[in-house]
Amino acid sequence: MTTLHEFVFTHQDGQHDLAVRVARATCGNARLPSSSLWFPMSVEINTGIMSPTAFGILDWLRLPPPRPGQAGQAGTGKERAAIGHCGNYATAAKEHDELIALADEKGSLTWKALCTPLQGCLFALTGKPSDAVQRITSGVAALRSTGTTLWMPLHSSYFARAYAELGRFDDAWRSIGEGVTAAETMKATWFGAEVNRIAGEIALLAPEPNAAKAEAYFERALSVARQQKAKSWELRAAMSMARLWRDQGKRDEARELLAPVYGWFTEGFDTLDLKEAKALLEGLAA
């Protein structure tokens, strides 16, 4: 098994600590064997693109996020892949364009195809659901033309988010189901916490909100994040649950859930998630 293959399996399987150690050993070009569940047969992945993306996502999941100002100074470094997760969407869009240019420079059709639906994910995060659906659709088509299904659970989740904002809840639940199925088929559990959290939010956005269903999804999201030691996913899930409990009048329970997760972080307090968590805690204490 190649080092890159080990990284893909450990990261996608949610073993983030092990994946970091494997990624540090990755260098040069690596060719995945045909048994890969995510890449087409004999596809070559250039790790000049792979390594920054891998480290950025893994560090965001496991460690306090970089400050927004740091990412723009990182060149082609690992912070690029984490900027969008940290909520610095304008910078993320700019850096994303540069990653596509880097993929063109390296001649990596697969990584260019991977970058395209991520632009749609940014649209979903910035209040442009129609643009998100269009871009993710075209991006996923490009990915399938290469034979890869990498990150399909992530793409399906942002599809669901965009559809829900458009009021297309049948399509939203279908997308959630596709994301869960893809994760199970591919044994790609790394995005499991966020898939469940987004499903819970959709349950609350529906014309007939289902708080019990939402709470069950949030509980599952917390469980997965804790199992994977993915503190950034845990923070998001804790915020979603805390908001639900606050609206149900369970303010003490909400604060007791969120406070220790927020307290774990020692930096990155100017990033979006931590700003929202602080504001939520202050509101619960009022």
pLDDT tens track for 247-276 = 999 999 999 999 999 999 998 888 889 999
The residue among 273, 278, 228, 283 whose CA lies nearest residue 83 is: 273
Which pLDDT belongs to residue 188? Answer: 66
With 50 as the cut, is the pLDDT of residue 5 above it? no
State pLDDT tens for residues 172-195.
999 999 888 887 777 767 778 889
pLDDT of residue 15 exceeding 70, the answer is: no
- Mean pLDDT of the chain, nearest integer: 74
Is the pLDDT reported for residue 239 higher than 70? Answer: yes
Conformation bin of residue 118: beta by default, left when phi > 0, alpha when psi is -120 to 50: alpha
Residue 31 — very low, low, confident or very high, per pLDDT cuts 50/70/90?
Answer: very low
Mean pLDDT on 75-89 = 47
Of 103, 95, 101, 97, which Cα lies nearest the Cα of 44? 103
